[in-house]
Amino acid sequence: GEDVEQSLFLSVREGDSSVINCTYTDSSSTYLYWYKQEPGAGLQLLTYIFSNMDMKQDQRLTVLLNKKDKHLSLRIADTQTGDSAIYFCAETLRDGQNFVFGPGTRLSVLP
Amino acid sequence: NAGVTQTPKFQVLKTGQSMTLQCAQDMNHNSMYWYRQDPGMGLRLIYYSASEGTTDKGEVPNGYNVSRLNKREFSLRLESAAPSQTSVYFCASSEVETQYFGPGTRLLVL
């Protein structure tokens, strides 16, 4: 079945770059997403990439997509303490209605 | 424009009690979803509704029922709550390529 995998934890120092990785299984996914969840809050869409793109940049965020390896990454440049949160990778299935989420990566930013 | 709203924010139930979680969106989206979030497991889809009048089971529908009352509202009902249903419940609505989430309902079943 469809599955999205992520490592559960990542720690970085303030000012360094963070790279959060994700692998997915549905090769027909149309869109792939990164969501951010702060403590006690819902999920906030950070960015998404269409499956025919390799890269998307939005200010401090860079998304890289390797379709051959079904690998998605999110790079956060100049990581700040406010970036501490759980980051979820997600894909849409071929029906376009269902979203499958990874378990989330908890990013801790150390001073 | 409030986006997706959910009520209540918190609820404590005893085993066997029933309750309905409410969700509403003001973005005129056709699709709406109910997820549960448990530690280390990400979000799991309980039910979704592709349009008003239709509902479909997701990954973990057992113990739940839903109603798509109209285009705006999508409710989730627990008929007989069990401790295994202790979780955080999120409602979402979507356009073609993006989902928007509500703030969540934290449910504790004793």
Q: Which residues of chain B lie closer than 8 angstroms to A96, CB-CB? A: 96
B74 CB-near residues (< 8 Å, 6+ apart): B23, B24, B32, B33, B34, B49, B66, B67, B68, B91, B93
Distance CA A8, CA B38 (A): 13
Report pLDDT digits (tens) over B69-97: 899 999 999 999 999 999 999 999 998 77
Report pLDDT digits (tens) over A46-76: 999 988 889 999 999 999 999 999 999 999 9
B21 — pLDDT class (breaks 50, 70, 90): very high
Q: What is the mean pLDDT of residues B20-33?
A: 95
A45 CB-near residues (< 8 Å, 6+ apart): A33, A34, A35, B98, B99, B100
* Closest-CA distance of chain A to residue B17, Å: 25
Q: Is B87 helix (H, G, I), strand (E, B) or coil?
A: strand
* Closest-CA distance of chain A to residue B27, Å: 16
From the candidates B25, B87, B97, which should be mutated to test the interface with A, based on the most A CB atoms within 10 A? B97
